[in-house]
Every structure is written in C-alpha cells, then in structure tokens.
Amino acid sequence: MRRSIRRRLRNGPIAASRHQRGAASGMDWADELAARVSGAQVINDSKTPSGTVHVGSLRGPVILDVITRALRAAGHETTLLYGVDDLDAMDAQALLTPDAVERSMGVPLAHIPDQVNDGHASYARHHAQTFIDLFANLGIHPDRYYWMSDIYPGGAMDRYIRTALDRAHVVRDIYRRVSNVQHPDTWHPILVICETCGKVGTTIVTKWDGQRVFYECRADLVAWATGCGSSGWVEPFGGRAKLPWNLEWAAQWSLFGVTIEPCGKDLATAGGSRDRSDAIAREVFEREPPINVAYEFLNIGGRKMSTSKGRGAAAHQIVEVIPPDQLRTLFIRPRPNHAIEFDPEGTDAIPRLFDEFDKLADATAGRPVKGEMAPGYASVFRYALRNADADVDAEAAAFRPSFAHLAFLVQVPGADIPTKMADEKGSALDARELAILEERRVAARAWLDAYAPDRARMSVRESVPDEVSTLDDAQRMFLATLADAVNLPAAGGSPIGPAGGDAWQAAIFATAAGLGLPPGRAFAALYVAFLGRSNGPRAGWLLAGLQARFVLDRLRAAAAGGTMGTAGGEP
C-alpha cells in the first residue's frame, strides 16, 4: 500500500520554473500538488532554534499550511507535523543571531539555560516557542509538534542510529559522491553528547562495535567551539547521541512516514543538504524521500535578511504590525520559487500589502476593481485567510477601511473613527467588520511607531517650519488676521482662543471668507504653519488641542515668514 504511494512520489521538486507551468492560476502550485498525489499524506518541517527568528522564516510554515489546506480540499487525509531540532549544537549559525551564548558553544540547544527569565526550560524552548506561538494566530495548526530532545531519549531514533552506524561506509560514500565532502575512513555518522563537558558539536566517533561507539571530544574539531579532550566508549542510544543533520532529517522521514516536505533554497541547492538527505533516505534507510517544495527567501531591500545585521524584523515583532491575513498574503501571492522583496522600513510596503489584500477581497466579492487581477486571485484570497473554515464570500464582502486612510485618522485628535467608517460604508459596521477595524487600527498605530516614513506621520513642529517660506502673501495675511481675530482680550489680559474645535473652525472660515481667500488655501496655510505640510487633520480641532498662547505665537511667526520664533542659528 505505502509502496504504491511512494512510487507516485518519485517526481522531482514541484517548484517549476515559470516557463514550465501551464496556463496557470496563482495558486496552482498547491492545487497541482494536491492533484498529483494519492492516498494519505504526511507533511513535515522542522527548525533548529538557533536564536531569534526573523519574519522570512514564516514563509515555510505558511507554505506548509497552504499545502495542507489544498490537500484536504482535494480529499486527502493529511497530517501536518512540525519539529524542533533542539538537540542541534549551538554553533556558528547561532552566532548570526544576537542571542548566542559564548560559553555554551557546542552544547545542544535544549541543554542551554534560557537567557531570558520568562519561564522557558531552555534556550531552545525559548526561541522555538516564541516562534511557534505565532503559528496559531497565523492560522497554522500542526497536528503534532515534536521535539528531538524528547524523541531521542524515548528511543525512537535508536533503530536509525544503528542502521546509520552499520552502513557508515555508505554514508561516507554519499557525502563524497553527492557533496564532494571527504570524511576520514574512520568517521561515523553519529554525534555523541560528551559525557564530560556536555558538548555535541565537538565530538567525533571513530569506532563502532555493534553496540558501543568510541568517541573523542576534540579541542580543535570545529572553529566555533572547543572540546574538552575526553574520550571513551558509549552506547549511542536513548539520547546519549544524535545523528548529524542530514541523517536526522532522513530518519525523521522514515520515523514519521513523511510524504511531502518543503525546504528553503539554501538546502535545496545542487549537492547541498537536501540532495545528501535524499540519497541517505534511499541508500541508508531504504525509503523514497518526500516530495520537495523548494522555496525562495524573503529579501529586505534586495538583500538577504539578517537578524544580526539589523536588516529585517524579528518574526514576533512584525506580527504586531501586519495582521495574519495580510502576512499570509505576503507569502502566498508569489510562487514558492520566487524571492520576495519586502522592505517595510520607512516605505509604504505595508500599506500597499493591505491595499493588495483589499483588492483581492473586492475582486473575490465581485466588486469592481481598478486595473487587472492576476490570474488565480480568488485562490490567493482564500488561502490568505487565517481561518481555514471561514466563509470566503462573507470575508470577501466585509467592509475594510483603507489602511493608509486609517493611519491618517488615528493621528487626528478626537476623530470618531467607527462613525466615520460607517459613513464610508453607508451602514453600520457589523461585529466582524468592527473586529477588522480594530485590528487595523492597532496595526496602523504600530506601523506609525515602527516603520512609517516621516511623510505619513503628523506632528506639530516645535519651531516654525521652514516650509512657511512657500506661503504667499494672501496666506500670510490670513494667518495674521486669524491671530488677531481670535486674540480677544480676556479679563486678565492673557490671550484666549476660541473654545473647542467647532469655534476654531468657524473662526477659520469666517477669517478666510473675510479676506476672500478660498478655504483650501487657508487650511493649507495652517497646516504648513503647524505641521510643515500642506494637508493634515481637521484644523479646528488640531488648534483647539494646543495651548492658545502657542497657537497665536505660531500664527504670527508664520505670517511673518518665520522670522519670529526661530532664533537664528541657521548659516
């Protein structure tokens, strides 16, 4: 039974180049995959919790989820597994994150104490859990999570360890043949956790007697960690040793019966990790490897993301700005073999992501959209939804406020956003729409705090903006006249302003009308005087929220062309 399934899986990676696909719709890669397989499917992915994970790492889990949904929609019984390779050593890889612990280099990640005192049992648990905690909110629900630090001690890997050691010569041959890596003839594919110093990255096994291995913990085996120099015979079972990554990967496929496993393009390169593991699966564990779905990375500004170099956001931070449906859209819209260019810092990339999602919703709901839709847009929309069981039509039909507009409104003092949105929609927002609004309002604020370009932010300048030099005489006159008009002497002689936004607003219109200045020019003058830009929030309410003395001084300074209030200093 299983064998017949395997035989059908012998096709290469599905990541077809653009020239190979047919008259495709956008999500065909997932649906085509679902149409190609038969029988029950097991999808797997696993991750080494080396440290803080950046947002690009979520592409893999989202792709897993989309494949799972496509398979289930096609009627295949499907199991989704997600593993944590937490017996891997803290190695050079961890040095690429800000989290590496120098004295623990070479130690299994699961055996390193959590550096953050927030209740996790280990370094590995901390970073893996921080990552995994994002899954549910993104609509990714593996049927089972497994941790290699549980799997090994439970003995489940013992039979694969034995097979690998018995066939060490085959493994060495694969490394040499597939990857041009020449291990010594005494090298054995097992990593003992040193009984003396606890490191796994520094040990090498040179003998296997069928029950025990002889290992040495060498000071200079690797550059990034120093072994303690001890050696001895040990039974490499029950968690006392782990397989090297390529063998562990292949062993996982056998252990869990994996039929589909996507991987990043770094592993999928010719002669790389995936090729080695595929060969090991076939020749050592005698099982056809799972279907591969190779996927490209997420680049920031045309360059690779790097947590350590400050390019790109940590995954757990970006989700505060990009809600699940939109983050899924980011990953799902391009085919897996396309690199994604994404640069949220100081750009409108995030607002445009929302716009694109909204356009997908509009088109799916049958509303008119500007321009043309990419083929397969309805599938993209459906798979982008966090909730796999959502009523797609209802979701598409729901009212969604423009993100950019919302980012503006949240900066307007006293704006009644729900009422404004109801006006825009033409009727009251329902519960779901209010939830979407709230989600976007939070996201908009977070975006303004963390990523937005300055032009999207509105703030009253502390001194007279240079931009007042662009005002014409009529506008200056308006500002001066307004200041005089509202500066009615109070009993004590101190300046007062109109009480409240309505009164300010009325004064603005009255003053402009008195001067014959079109309201638009008058308001523009105010915005320039206070914000340094030609548009802004409702001016009356903006001024009402400021100190009257400040407002009057600024009006007069701006009317004078900025010669008052900015005390020299400029060359």
Nearer to RNA, 413 or 561 (CB): 413
Nearer to RNA, 365 or 390 (CB): 365
Inter-CA distances, 131 with 105, 119, 137, 467, Å:
22, 15, 11, 46
Nearer to RNA, 71 or 293 (CB): 293
CA distance 504 to 492: 21
Rounded to a whole number of angstroms, the minimum distance from the CB of residue 492 to RNA is: 29
Nearer to RNA, 227 or 536 (CB): 536
- Which residue has 């936004």 as its token pair? 501
Q: Which tokens is 543 given?
A: 């001024």
Exposed e or buried b for every residue in 310-332, given b needs 16+ CB within 10 A? ebbbbbeebbebbbbbbbbbbbb
- Helix, strand or coil, per DSSP, at residue 390: coil
Q: Which tokens is 235 given?
A: 């039974």
Rounded to a whole number of angstroms, the minimum distance from the CB of residue 472 to RNA is: 16
Please check whether residue 43 is in contact with residue 261, taking contact to mean a CB–CB distance below 8 angstroms. yes
295 backbone dihedrals φ, ψ, rounded to 5°:
-130, 150
Give 427's Cβ-side CA count (13 Å radius): 5
Q: Which tokens is 24 given?
A: 């495709």
Please check whether residue 282 is in contact with residue 50, taking contact to mean a CB–CB distance below 8 angstroms. no
Rounded to a whole number of angstroms, the minimum distance from the CB of residue 376 to RNA is: 8
Rounded to a whole number of angstroms, the minimum distance from the CB of residue 262 to RNA is: 8
Nearer to RNA, 22 or 492 (CB): 22
Rounded to a whole number of angstroms, the minimum distance from the CB of residue 373 to RNA is: 8
Rounded to a whole number of angstroms, the minimum distance from the CB of residue 55 to RNA is: 7
Rounded to a whole number of angstroms, the minimum distance from the CB of residue 570 to RNA is: 26
- Which residue has 């999808």 as its token pair? 43
Rounded to a whole number of angstroms, the minimum distance from the CB of residue 67 to RNA is: 15
Rounded to a whole number of angstroms, the minimum distance from the CB of residue 103 to RNA is: 19
Rounded to a whole number of angstroms, the minimum distance from the CB of residue 535 to RNA is: 3
Pairing mode of beta strands 298-300, 340-341 = parallel
Nearer to RNA, 412 or 560 (CB): 412
Nearer to RNA, 500 or 565 (CB): 500
The helix, strand and coil proportions of the chain, stated in percent and rounded to the nearest 5, come to 45, 10, 45
- Give the count of beta carbons closer than 10 Å to the beta carbon of residue 439: 15
Contacts with 49 (C-beta within 8 Å, 6 or more apart), sequence order: 84, 85, 86, 109, 123, 124, 125, 126, 127, 128, 131
Nearer to RNA, 13 or 565 (CB): 13
- Which residue has 């003058």 as its token pair? 525
- Give the count of beta carbons closer than 10 Å to the beta carbon of residue 175: 20
Nearer to RNA, 370 or 393 (CB): 370
Residue 390's DSSP bridge partners are none
Nearer to RNA, 148 or 446 (CB): 148
Residue 44's DSSP bridge partners are 81
